[in-house]
Each structure stands twice: as structure tokens, then as C-alpha cells.
Structure 1
Amino acid sequence: MRNAFLAPFRYPRYTKEIEAEEQEETKPKVQNWRFTLKQLWAYLAAYKARLLFVLLMVILSSFFALAGPFMVGMAVDHFIEAGQLDGLGLFLAGLAVIYAGHSLSVWLQNVSMIEVAQRTVYQLRTDLFARWHELEVPFYDKKKHGELMSRMTNDIENVSNTLNSSFIQIMSSILILTGTLSVMLWLSPLLTLVTMVVIPVMYIGMKWITKRTNRLFKAQQRNIGALNGYIEETLGGQEIVKTYSQEPHVISAFEKRNARLRLSGFWAQTISGFIPKLMNSLNNFSFAIIACVGGLFALNGMITIGVIVIFTEYARQFTRPLNDLANQFNTILSAIAGAERVFAMMKETSEFHGEDNLPDYVPAGGKIEFDRVSFSYNGTENTMADVSFTARPGETVAFVGPTGAGKTTVINLLARFYEYHAGAVYVDEQEVKSLNRSSLRRQMAFVLQDSALFQGTIRENIRYGRLNATDAEVEEAARLANADGFIRSFTEGYETKLSQEGGGLSQGQRQLLAIARALLADPLILILDEATSSIDTVTEIKIQEALSRLMEGRTSLVIAHRLNTIRRADQIIMLQQGQVVERGTHEELVARRAAYYEMYQQGDEAV
């Protein structure tokens, strides 16, 4: 009760807090209206016939909306005031047809427009998602995942809402405004002028309200986003919260965010609640003016009673479209800004652009050669400088070195996730830049430190390596990967449902599934990036056995932090600051007693 009583006195202080938040955020602006509307029309153009039908229904509904009050007013003059009841039944039937036609046309326009909007948004979402999978890895390095999700959800949802309702409301409001004003001027220009007295008052009142509600609803959306983000972050980090006994801290932080949402929601709803009160008051005021002035005009024979009835109805129809147009402006601006951001992302160059004419990679053993390759992520400092090595078919080449030495960069350049700046990379004597990326990557399989698993069954996750594999082939791959045992220990076996990112499985079990997936893919080239890090000794033995089967007969590039995983490598290459400082077998490098030997002496932690 106390908080509710004091709430009005907190508004001035709260508005200062909102101003501070607004200064920190970038307001959405439309940079290129013409391009955005042209792109949006390209999607809507597929439904021209349906849009024309919607326009026809809007025109009909607007006509019926104007005709109903006009006929009622005429009925007052011809039937009630004149005392003439002949033809009243036919008139009432016609009036019923008008109101039924209005309801039907409104229903048809809404259903049709919703179908057009949802089909358009469906295609827009599909195209954006497909485009994401055509973009290069550097694109994702520069974008936050939250920003990408915002394009798919918030921005496209704004477009959807605008197409669903705003399109019809704007057309209908313009037609009703034009028609209402025209009929009012035709009936009585003087009474029309009197009726317009409320418009300046309505404009000032609505401007005062919307100026505050726009900011308050934005603040409410920001607070909802902050609260949801904090909830997601906290739920995802429950183990850390409990490990450090920080439950009181996170609950306190949640209460603060929840309180801000409550406060912004209170003021947004409270001030926006003034709108219907203002409109009702102005409508009543308008009725009073029309009745008073119209009555004087009627007494002097300037107008009829029926005209007064028409004006009272039209006065309400006149203020509502004005209100709708004012409210829809910000909605449309937000939707176009969102559409612009979506289309800008879809304009990003595909990594497959211009590759249609490139030949497919023709496997011929899996020989890999780096010839004086240099590369930089930021364009200024070299991550890799003049690196050369050769991995013969079936060989295992391991890369070691400190963090940032360029080990993972080797993999990125081989798979063409990034393009090298100097030198050349060859696979079976074919330069990778001259090959179709998809055909090259189809001959590779990756087993990474963090194995990516998807929502679905264990069988589906293994089959991801080769979608046309039979159930027997999936189970054989799992057996070779030493994963069959733990899979069958589950009640549902291979049909066990996995949550997102393989929740419920240990790190080692996830790695075994990743190895099974790679075995099923049957690649020519194998990439192992720290595949046995953070694994217990018993599980590591199982993984090593599975990796031995996987690597047999395949050219393998291995990045490892644990030296015992690379001792049997045919060649070990040590990188420092993007350069090759040593190469050889484990025994050769230890006997050399140089950089690798020092790292070996310090143990796994130094790698």
C-alpha cells in the first residue's frame, strides 16, 4: 500500500533514470527507406492478388462504416421527424445489410492480411536463417549471438505485427477520415468547423501522453530484456552459483531488476491508461458541442435533426482514425528499421559467392601442404607468418605451442573458414582456394574440445555425420567409438533424447559421440582440436582407442594440450608467435633439447 501511495511522487525521479538509459542506447533509425521498402515489397509482391482483395475489403468496410450513420440520420428526417413509416421495414433491412456487410468485410480483410503477413514473415525468416549458413566464419566473430537472435525474433516480429494490423489500420483510417470530412462538409460546413474544435485539444493531449508512454514502454522492454537475460545467465550458471554459495547475491540482483520492471510497467500502463479517458472525454465534449450548436442551427432551419445525428456519429469516427494514425507512426518506423537491419544482414556476401564454377575437390589420398602461408585476423598483426609443412596421406601431424601460437589457425585456413593472405595451401596438389568449399569440407571431419550436440536422439546426433546412414551403420560407428556401452545403459538406448548441447552427458561421453559421428562420416582428412582435454584417465583410454580406429588410414591434423596424446604422431610441429620453430618426431625433438624439450620437461601445463 505504501509503495502504491508513494508511486506518483517517484515519477519525476524515474524519468531522469530513463533519460540516462536512453543516452546510453542507440535509437533505431532508418538509413535507406527506398531500399528497405523495395526489398519488403519484393516479398509482398508474391501475394498481389490477395493484397488487392484486402484493399477492396478495406474500401468496402470504410464505405459501410460511413453509410451506416448517414442512413440512420436520414431515417430520423424521413421517418421519425416526418412521422412517415412507409418503407421503414425495407430501410431497416437495408441497414442490417450494411452493418452485416461491414462486419463481413472487416473479417475478410483481417483474415486475408494475416495470411499475407504470416506467409511473408515465414519466407523472411527462412531466407534469413538460410543466409546465416552461407556467411563466412569472420562474420560471426564480429557479431554477438544476441544481436543475431534479435534480428530473427524482435525485428522480424515487428515486421509481422505491422503487416498484421498497421497496414489495414492506416488504409482504413485514411479512407474514413477523407470520407467523413467530405460528407460533413457537404452536409454543413459551419457545423464541421465547430466539430473540429476538439482536434487541437486532442492533439495536445495525445502528444503529452505519447511523448511519455513511448519512453516508458521502451524502458519496459529494456527491463524485460535485462531480466530475461539475467534469468537465462543464472540458470545456465547454476553450478557456479551453488559452488560459490552466491544464491543470496543472485536473488538480490534479480529483485533489483524485477523492481525496475515493475516500476516501468506501472508507469507505462498508468499513463497509457489516460488515452481512453481522454478520448472518451473529448467525444463527450464533441457530442455536447454538436448537440448544443446543432440544436441552435436546427431551430433556425439551417440543418435538420438527422444531420445532427449524423454529425454525432461521424465525430466519433473522425477522432478514432486520427488516434490510430498517431499510434501507428512509431510502430511503422520501428518495423521498417527492423526490416532494414534484416535486409542489411541478408546483403552480406555469401562465402559460396562465385564458387558455382569452381571444380569439386577430387580426393587422391589426402596429402596436405602449406607453402609459406601468412595470415592475419585483424589485417595488421600476423597470426601466422611464412608457415610451411607437408602432411603425407595417412600421416598424423600434431601441432603444439602456447596459446595464440597459431595452431587453430592452421585448421581454419585448411577448411577455408578464413582465407590466407600470402602463400598457398594444397590438398592433393590442388590449391584450396581453387576448390569448391562444400566439396572440400565433405572430406573432413572435426572432433573438437567442446563437442556440439543438438536436441534430438543419440541416434540422430551420430547420424549427423552422414544423414543417409542406416541404423546398423550408426550403431557400428558407436561401437567402434567405444560409445555403444554407455548408450545401451540408458533405458531408451539410441533413442534417448538429448537436451540442448548434450546436457546430462559427461564431457567424455559427448566426445565419444563426436568420434562416432566422425567415424560414420568416413572422412579422408581428420581434424582433432584438443579432443582429449578435460577428460579423466579412464575415459581418455577409451577415447584414445576410438581415436586410433578413427585415425587409421586418414591424414590427421592434431592440436593437443596433453603431450601423451601426440607422442605417436608421425610429425610434431611446434609453433610460437605464428612461426614454425621446430619439427620432428617426439623422440627427435626431445633429443634436440630445444623449445619442445623445455615444454616437455614442464609437463602438459606448458603446452
Structure 2
Amino acid sequence: MQYCEADVKVWDVWVDRGISHCFLDTASSSVLAVWLIGIGSIELVQFGRHGTRLDERLKPKSCLYRLQFLAHLLLSFVFPAAWIFAYWQWNREELYGHHIARGAVQLILWAFALLITHKERHLQMPSPPLWGHGLALLVFWTGNVIERCLAITSFNSRWWWWHIHGEQDRFKLIIFSAEAITVIIAFILGLKAPGLPSLEQRYQFAYGRLPDPESNGAQPSTWSNLWTKMRLMMPYIWPKKSKMLQLRVFVCFALLVIGRVMNVYLPLYYKWIVNSLTNPSPETQEFAFRWDWILIYSALRFCQGNGFLATLRSYLWITVQQYTTREVQVKLYDHLLSLSLRWHIGRKTGEVLQVMDRGTNSINSLLNYVLFNIVPTIADIIIAIAFFITSYNLWFGIIIFVTMALYLATTVYVTEWRTKYRREMNLADNQFRAKGVDSLLNFETVKYYNAEQYEVDRYRAALVSYQHSEWLSSASLSLLNSIQNVIIGAGLLVGSLLCAYLVSNHTDGLTVGDYVLFATYIMQLYTPLNYLGTIYRMIQTALIDMENMFDLMGEKQEIYDHPNAIEYKCSAGKIEFKNVSFRYSPDYPILEDVSFVVQPGKTLAIVGPSGGGKSTIIRLLFRFYDVQSGQILFDDQDVTMLKQRSLRRYIGVVPQDTVLFNDTIRYNIRYGDVEASDAQVEEAAIAVEIHEKILGFPDGYATMVGERGLKLSGGEKQRVAIARTILKAPSFVLLDEATSALDTHTERNIQASLQRICAGRTTVVVAHRLSTVISADEILVLLHGRVAERGTHNDLLALKGVYYGMWMQQQSPEKGDSSATVDEASLTTETDKKIDEK
């Protein structure tokens, strides 16, 4: 028995108008055997060492899994036996060694694939599992589909059975068709993986819990909630505010359509030019010089691809893209400013800025990829299939369709598989950038504690983690590119062989120009198709980058205006707390049943130990938070029924921790009233006794204050903040330790200025230095979040309670300067009992 047919060597690829049956059987069997047995054995070893048997309840009862099992049995036993029977029954002389070798290899490989499928169904690896089957099986199934597609190109060969010349050929064709259909079923079911538990089930089995949404090893597909993402994007994509931009969009789409038409005519003109130079005219027997076709071809080439049309379209799209970027960034920025203080206290500035940049850029990238790459490429594929079917025959359309389908399916699957590496890289990128920004923002603290090397080591560790994730992402990308090149190369090879064969036999009147047409068109099609894989990855990357931005957009606005909220117009200027209770978290109470009234034009001082809730009252008055119970009233109107902007317009705040913009002193003071004149800005500076100091700076009021105002001293920053509030001229003044950073002399001067400013205005003062509030109309002493005492300075001293003890502590020389604060432990048990009784 010979291994190959007569006069055919095993390495002969094309024999007698078709692919050599001997070569195809040998090559495909060898390649698939090396791949599946090599990679599959590694997987089986890993399952044997580290696999854990899955709970029977996790294994899905699926009819499709039974069909998958049956397909493997048919391909491993039934079909090889049917081939051997066909040759043995009709013509034993046509039974060659490669037939038996292929049957034996098929039996081993499909049985081996069934074993791996069984292991993947019943065993769980300790690491977070990937969705679907392993790479060994997926490549094996894909290789079998490609082998059947290659066989189609040999339909004119006498060694094959396409032209039925008897019962034997008919039986072989039936076997081949049934086998090809079964292979396709096995391939499709392999992608679906009906016998495997879901990712969530396998993850829960491995860790005893569902995947963490913040983890990156078990993230859902980036295409999940795609409709929600698109719905969020749509208001920013269509330029509804500008008719000119809408016209530009229509022109860009018209250019796309023109480009699709050019892609069809360019290869046709190339064919006609080649035929005119290779086929002489029947009348004159001379070659034609078609300069007109050459000019048209050159013009089409000039406009095609990245030529003139693409350049013009890119130019017209610039303003549309800028519109989208502007709308998204402004909307996101406005949303961030509307979020609560609670959220801003917990955020990381560097990470938020990185998410904003990547998110807004990803929307533009997504638009460009979808509109100008994906849609045109898909249109080109559909046009190409229709063109080749109508101009040549059905087989060309089938070859192109199968190649495209395999390419797209492989690209989608492998890209989905490597998505987790991109997510890990994004997370690591956020972390190492956030660490860098955080260290730079806290530069002084780093220096104070001699922690430069510690911060460098943290930054280096974060960067190494990012580069590890980056390597995984890049390595998996190289694997994907290799698979894509194999599929495209196989499709090009099959199509070129078929076309060359038809041209050499002058089938259907095909000429050399037709081969040139095919080669030109197919390469013209494969070039964007090859880029389509990259585009798909870019789209997926854009969706991943947008996820964090959508998370920011999805942050709920904790403090919002009631639908029936009204504008606040200050009338008398009265403030009232009614039985207010507040806590930042359920187990962290701050205020308990606090009540007080500040009459119009009066001053209320709030004192007490640190952590008693004094600054919280300031934040509640400004409505940074809503209370859990009770009411806060301005002129007998509940703050929850007032529009925030209208209320805050009448409130001026001087916080304890003053943070300035990295701009000029004039800008920071004018922030209290952005429409104020320079003279008004200087009057406010004079009122807080900083005017002369500012004039002493080289740049005067144009002096830059630095990041968060670090170029100014603590007292200078505090005075700028007070001047800013003075310029606002509010009806209500809230002072939270407004003079805490000032020396005694300056404090007394500013106190006099504040008294003049607060005259006739309703004022709430939070203070540790009791000497600064002795003139207040009423003083509230907070202890443990409740009102311990209230009254004027003299009344509270006469009580000889909590306030008296605080006053005596601050007056005692042994306690240090007058800024000393009271220690809660020093307060008497009797005082606590009095508070409880109240």
C-alpha cells in the first residue's frame, strides 16, 4: 500500500487542478496533532495537579452539551470508519496510507478533545477561571473548520469527489458534507461552551462568593450594558445646538459612501488596464494605450484609503469632535461639582482627573472607530461578497465569508479573553498616578517626616505593578495578531489558488486581469480587515476606559433640590435648629437633639471640646449634608425646600482650613464676588489689614499664591479668606475658627474688623479661644454632640459648669498660651450628669 497516490509526493501541494489529498491529510493531521496533544497535555497535567472537582449542582443540564458530546463521538469513530469503508467497499486500490493515517489521527485527536472537554466540565482550577473552553480546544476546532474550507478549492480535481461519477463519489460527498456540518457544529458549540458552569458559578465555587465588581480577574464583558452606555453618550454625540455642525456630519457620511463606491471601481480599472496591456485588440492585433483609464485609476487611488477623501473628512470632523469633547467634559465637571462633600472627602484627585481624561478621550475614539472604521469595513465586506458571487462564482463568496467569519469570531473571543489584562492595567495605572499626585500635593509633609525614599519606593512598586499588567496585555495582543495572520493567510491562499486555476484554464472567460482584480480587491479588503482586529480592541479599550467615567457620572447626588423647592429670598435673617440629630455613619453619631435660635442680626458662638460637632453645625447650615432628624430653618423655611444656590448666595463662610486657588491674590479675593472692581477688592483687603502686606510683594495683587496657597503663611491665607467673605457681603456669616492661625495682635485687629462686618448680620461663630466670643449675644457649649449649656459669657461663668472650666483652663498660665483647648477628660462627672438630665 502506497502512502500517496501514484506520482505524487507528500510535499506536493497542488496536483491535477486541486490541493493534493495526500498533502492536506498529512499537513492538517500533523499540525493539529502537535497543537492539541502538546497544549492539551499541559492543560491535563494542570488539571491533574491543581484541579478540584466541581459541585454536581453547578454542572448545567444542557441538551447542547449532549449534542457537543455526540459530535465528538461521530468525528472520532463514525466518520473515520465511514471513510475507510468507502474506499474498501468500492475500490481498495484507492485506499492509500494517508487515508488510514488521517483516520487514526482523527480518532485519537477527537477522543483526546472529548477528554479535555470532560475535564473542563468536571474540574475547577484554583485561579479565577476564564469564560468558556481553553485555547487548546478552540484552536483545534478552528483548524478543523479551516481544513474543510481548503478542501472546497479542489472541486475540479479528479482525486476528489466533487463531480459525482458513481455511487462511490456520491457516498464520499455525503460523508464529507456530514463531517463538515458536524465540525461546524462542534466549533459553534465550542464557542458557546454549553457544558461549563457560568463564570459567576465557578468563581463562587472557588472563593465562596460572587466576583467583586471592583476586581479585575472576573469582570463582565465590556459589551455588557452597552445600550446604557450608548444612551448616556447620545446627547453628546449629535450636535443639536449647531446646524452647521449637523451639516458637517452629513457631508462626512456622504464622503464615506463615495469611498465605498471607489473601492469597487479601483480594482476594476486596474483589471481593465492590465487586460489592455496583455490582450491585443482583435482588429489591430496591437496593445491599447488607455491613458484615460490610467488617469481615472490614479485619481481613484489618490482619493482612496487615507487619501484626499479621508483627509477632507478628518478636517470636517474636527469641530464635531471638539463639540463632543466639550459637552462631555463640561457635563462631567458640572456633575462632579454637584456631588456631596462626603464624596469629595473620600476621592483621590489624581485618579479622578485620570478617569476624566481617559473617559472623554475614549468617547471620541469610539465614535471615530465605529463611524469611520467598523461601519465602512463591514460595508466593504458585504459589497465584496456580493461582487465576487455575481462577477465570478459562489465559491469566491463562500471563501471570503468563511475567512471573515473565522477572523471576526477569533478576534472577538480572544479579545474578550484578554480584556481582564487591560482592566488590570487601567487599575494599576490609576493607582500609580494617584500615588504620584498625592505625594506631590503633600510635598511639605513628605519633607517634614524625611519620607522621600519611602514615597519613591511606593511609586516604584506601583509602577512595577503597572508594567507587569502592561506586559500581560501586550503578550496576549501578540498571540491574537498571530492567530489573525494565520486565518487571513489561509483565506488569501485558498482564494488565490482557486482564481489562478480558473484563469489558467480560461474558465468562464477569466483573464490575467481577473486575477489582478481578485488580488487587488482581496488585499484592499484584507488591509482594513487586518486593522479591524485592532479597531475592535480599540473599541473595547474605549469602552473599558469609559467604565470609570460612567461610574463617576453614575454617582448619586446626595444633596439635591426638592422638585418643589423655591428660591430663598432673605427677609429677616433668622436661623433656627429644631431637634437636629446627625451622624456621618450609623455607628458614628455627631449631634443629638440640638436646638437653638439665632435672631436676625445677632451673633451665636459655639464652643466646646474638639470633636463635639461644632464644625458640623457650620456644614449643616451650608447644607453640605442633610440631617437624619429635626429641621434647619432660615426665616422659618426648611432648608430642604429651598434651592441650594439661592440659599448659599446669602451665606458667607470663613473655614478653619483655608485652601486657595493656584492663582493671584486678586483672583482669590475677588472669588467672593467675581464682578467686583479692583477698588472693592482692595477695600476688602484693607478691612482685614493685609493690603499693605500685599503691596510689599514684588507683584502686588498679581502675586501667585501657589498650589493650595502654600506660598502664603497661614495667617495671610486666613486673611485672604476673610477678605473674600467680606467682598461677598452675605446676610449670614459663618466663622469656623476664622482667626485660629493669627497672632494675638493681628487677631485683635481682625476681630474688630469682623465685628464691624458682622454688625447687623446674623452670625454663627465656632471658636476654641473663648476670648474671641465673649461679646456674642449667646454662647452654646457642645459636649458629646448635645447642648450642655447656653447663655451669655457672664451667665455661663456664673453657672460654674463646663464653660467655666474651659475658661479657667485657658486663663491658667501653666496651660500655656490662651489658645489652649479643653480636654474632655478634665470635665467633671457632675457636669455629664447635668447634661444627661437635660
- Taking a change above 3 Å as real, the CA distance of residues 309 and 450 of structure 1, as seen in their structure-2 partners, is same
Report the secondary structure of 1:384's partner residue: strand
- Between 1:184-193 and 1:328-337, the stretch displaced more is 328-337
Q: What is the Cα deviation at residue 512 of structure 1?
A: 0.4
- Between 1:43-52 and 1:524-533, the stretch displaced more is 43-52
Q: Deviations over 1:36-88 (max 9, x none)?
A: 43443333332544333222211211221232123212332344234654361
Residue 161 (structure 1) aligns with: 365
Q: Deviations over 1:286-319 (max 9, x none)?
A: 5554444433222222232222212222332333
Residue 7 (structure 1) aligns with: none
- Taking a change above 3 Å as real, the CA distance of residues 360 and 66 of structure 1, as seen in their structure-2 partners, is same
What is the CA RMSD across the aligned residues, in angstroms? Answer: 3.7
Q: Deviations over 1:514-556 (max 9, x none)?
A: 1111111122221011223354545544543443443333322
Residue 51 (structure 2) aligns with: none
1:69 aligns with 2:267: yes
Residue of 159, 166, 170 corresponding to 2:374: 170
- Taking a change above 3 Å as real, the CA distance of residues 345 and 567 of structure 1, as seen in their structure-2 partners, is same
Q: What is the Cα deviation at residue 134 of structure 1?
A: 4.2
- Taking a change above 3 Å as real, the CA distance of residues 546 and 175 of structure 1, as seen in their structure-2 partners, is same
- Taking a change above 3 Å as real, the CA distance of residues 23 and 460 of structure 1, as seen in their structure-2 partners, is closer
Residue 86 (structure 1) aligns with: 288
Residue 4 (structure 1) aligns with: none
Q: Residues of 1 paired with 2:790 and 2:535: CA distance?
A: 68
Residue 389 (structure 1) aligns with: 596
- Taking a change above 3 Å as real, the CA distance of residues 174 and 123 of structure 1, as seen in their structure-2 partners, is same
Q: Residues of 1 paired with 2:689 and 2:742: CA distance?
A: 15
Q: Residues of 2 paired with 1:179 and 1:433: CA distance?
A: 61
Amino acid at match of 2:462: R
Q: Residues of 2 paired with 1:31 and 1:448: CA distance?
A: 45
Residue 104 (structure 1) aligns with: 308
Residue of 821, 825, 836 corresponding to 1:605: 821
Higher relative contact order (CA 8 A, sep 6+): 1
Residue 249 (structure 1) aligns with: 454
- Taking a change above 3 Å as real, the CA distance of residues 516 and 492 of structure 1, as seen in their structure-2 partners, is same
Residue 160 (structure 2) aligns with: none
Amino acid at match of 2:524: Q
Residue 515 (structure 2) aligns with: 308
TM alignment of 1:402-441, pairs within 5 A: 402-441=609-648
- Taking a change above 3 Å as real, the CA distance of residues 212 and 405 of structure 1, as seen in their structure-2 partners, is same
Residue of 408, 422, 444 corresponding to 1:239: 444
Residue 658 (structure 2) aligns with: 451
Amino acid at match of 1:362: C
- Taking a change above 3 Å as real, the CA distance of residues 412 and 244 of structure 1, as seen in their structure-2 partners, is closer
Q: Residues of 2 paired with 1:380 and 1:240: CA distance?
A: 31
Instruction: Verify the 8 A CA contact 1:113 1:163 in the aligned structure 2.
Output: no
1:559 aligns with 2:774: no
Residue of 669, 672, 693 corresponding to 1:465: 672
Amino acid at match of 1:570: D
- Taking a change above 3 Å as real, the CA distance of residues 114 and 178 of structure 1, as seen in their structure-2 partners, is farther
- Between 1:315-324 and 1:388-397, the stretch displaced more is 315-324
Q: What is the Cα deviation at residue 487 of structure 1?
A: 0.9
- Between 1:523-532 and 1:253-262, the stretch displaced more is 253-262
Q: What is the Cα deviation at residue 176 of structure 1?
A: 0.9
Instruction: Verify the 8 A CA contact 2:591 2:786 in the aligned structure 1.
Output: yes
Q: Residues of 2 paired with 1:127 and 1:598: CA distance?
A: 53
TM alignment of 1:364-375, pairs within 5 A: 364=572, 366-375=573-582
Q: Residues of 2 paired with 1:196 and 1:28: CA distance?
A: 26
Q: Residues of 2 paired with 1:260 and 1:142: CA distance?
A: 24
Q: What is the Cα deviation at residue 321 of structure 1?
A: 4.1
Residue 554 (structure 2) aligns with: 345
Q: Deviations over 1:104-129 (max 9, x none)?
A: 32223333334323212211222232
Report the secondary structure of 2:821's partner residue: helix
Q: What is the Cα deviation at residue 403 of structure 1?
A: 3.9
Q: What is the Cα deviation at residue 453 of structure 1?
A: 1.5
Amino acid at match of 2:309: S
Which consecutive unaligned segments of at least 5 residues does structure 1 have?
Answer: 1-11
Instruction: Verify the 8 A CA contact 1:57 1:109 in the aligned structure 2.
Output: yes
Q: What is the Cα deviation at residue 377 of structure 1?
A: 4.4
Instruction: Verify the 8 A CA contact 1:131 1:350 in the aligned structure 2.
Output: no
1:550 aligns with 2:757: yes
Residue 320 (structure 2) aligns with: 116
- Taking a change above 3 Å as real, the CA distance of residues 221 and 430 of structure 1, as seen in their structure-2 partners, is closer
Q: What is the Cα deviation at residue 199 of structure 1?
A: 5.5
Q: Deviations over 1:380-411 (max 9, x none)?
A: 87643332222233332111223443323322
TM alignment of 1:353-372, pairs within 5 A: 353-354=562-563, 358-364=566-572, 366-372=573-579
Instruction: Verify the 8 A CA contact 1:290 1:308 in the aligned structure 2.
Output: no
Instruction: Verify the 8 A CA contact 1:477 1:520 in the aligned structure 2.
Output: yes
Q: What is the Cα deviation at residue 509 of structure 1?
A: 0.7
Residue 35 (structure 2) aligns with: none
TM alignment of 1:213-292, pairs within 5 A: 214-266=419-471, 268-269=473-474, 272-273=477-478, 287-292=492-497
Report the secondary structure of 1:497's partner residue: coil
Residue 125 (structure 1) aligns with: 329
Amino acid at match of 2:571: P
Q: Deviations over 1:217-276 (max 9, x none)?
A: 444333332222222122223323333323333333333333334444455445535666
Q: Residues of 2 paired with 1:260 and 1:90: CA distance?
A: 61
Say which one has the larger Rg: 2
Report the secondary structure of 1:155's partner residue: helix
Report the secondary structure of 2:740's partner residue: coil
Q: What is the Cα deviation at residue 573 of structure 1?
A: 0.3
Q: Residues of 1 paired with 2:557 and 2:602: CA distance?
A: 38
Q: Deviations over 1:123-142 (max 9, x none)?
A: 12222323444455456467
Q: What is the Cα deviation at residue 213 of structure 1?
A: 5.4
Q: Residues of 1 paired with 2:764 and 2:357: CA distance?
A: 39
Instruction: Verify the 8 A CA contact 1:173 1:324 in the aligned structure 2.
Output: no
- Between 1:308-317 and 1:137-146, the stretch displaced more is 137-146
Instruction: Verify the 8 A CA contact 2:606 2:614 in the aligned structure 1.
Output: yes
Report the secondary structure of 2:673's partner residue: coil
Q: Residues of 1 paired with 2:402 and 2:600: CA distance?
A: 88
Q: Residues of 1 paired with 2:749 and 2:689: CA distance?
A: 6
Which consecutive unaligned segments of at least 5 residues does structure 2 have?
Answer: 1-45, 47-126, 131-211, 811-819, 824-838
Report the secondary structure of 2:252's partner residue: helix
- Taking a change above 3 Å as real, the CA distance of residues 17 and 386 of structure 1, as seen in their structure-2 partners, is closer
- Taking a change above 3 Å as real, the CA distance of residues 178 and 207 of structure 1, as seen in their structure-2 partners, is closer
Aligned residues: 592
- Between 1:78-87 and 1:386-395, the stretch displaced more is 78-87
Residue 515 (structure 1) aligns with: 722
Q: Residues of 1 paired with 2:222 and 2:422: CA distance?
A: 18
Q: Residues of 1 paired with 2:737 and 2:659: CA distance?
A: 14
TM alignment of 1:203-218, pairs within 5 A: 206=411, 210=415, 214-218=419-423
Q: Residues of 2 paired with 1:228 and 1:142: CA distance?
A: 17
Residue of 526, 551, 554 corresponding to 2:733: 526
Q: Deviations over 1:554-598 (max 9, x none)?
A: 322111223333233222101223321101223322332222233
Instruction: Verify the 8 A CA contact 1:28 1:334 in the aligned structure 2.
Output: no
Residue of 41, 62, 67 corresponding to 2:234: 41
Residue 9 (structure 1) aligns with: none
Q: Residues of 1 paired with 2:352 and 2:794: CA distance?
A: 48
- Taking a change above 3 Å as real, the CA distance of residues 36 and 229 of structure 1, as seen in their structure-2 partners, is closer
